[in-house]
Amino acid sequence: MILSTMHFRERWIERVGLALPTPDEIETMLRESVVVQEQRDLFSPRGRRYRILAAYWNPVRRLILKVDHKSNKTVTVLTPELATDAHRNTQTGV
């Protein structure tokens, strides 16, 4: 069973605007998704570890889920509106 971080729950409400998905619903969303990036750990020359989260694109729901498979948790959710807002901010200088 996959769990959700507080950050994920807050971003889900803010960005998706629907009731929080249950762990079973999240698992279904992940199965329906395309793996955009697999999770990996990268290391700096000094040995410091940086975790790159797995990213799953669900085209039907129009969102990307970022997942930490080491802790078995969803970490955040991204939506197309974020990209539009970021583009608008670069155009207006905000």
Residues 5-32: tens digit of each pLDDT: 999 999 999 999 999 999 999 999 999 9
At 81, is the pLDDT very low, low, confident or very high (cuts 50, 70, 90)? confident
Q: Is 77 helix (H, G, I), strand (E, B) or coil?
A: strand
User: Phi first, then psi: what are they for 38, rounded to 5°?
Assistant: -85, 155
Structural domain boundaries, residue 35: 3-89
pLDDT of residue 20: 97
Global confidence as pTM = 0.83
pLDDT of residue 87: 46
The answer to whether residue 94 sits within a structural domain is no
The answer to whether residue 60 sits within a structural domain is yes
> Tokens 């939506």 appear where?
79
The answer to whether residue 11 sits within a structural domain is yes
pLDDT of residue 94: 53
Q: Is 63 helix (H, G, I), strand (E, B) or coil?
A: strand
Region 48-58 average pLDDT: 97
User: What's the total number of domains in the chain?
Assistant: 1
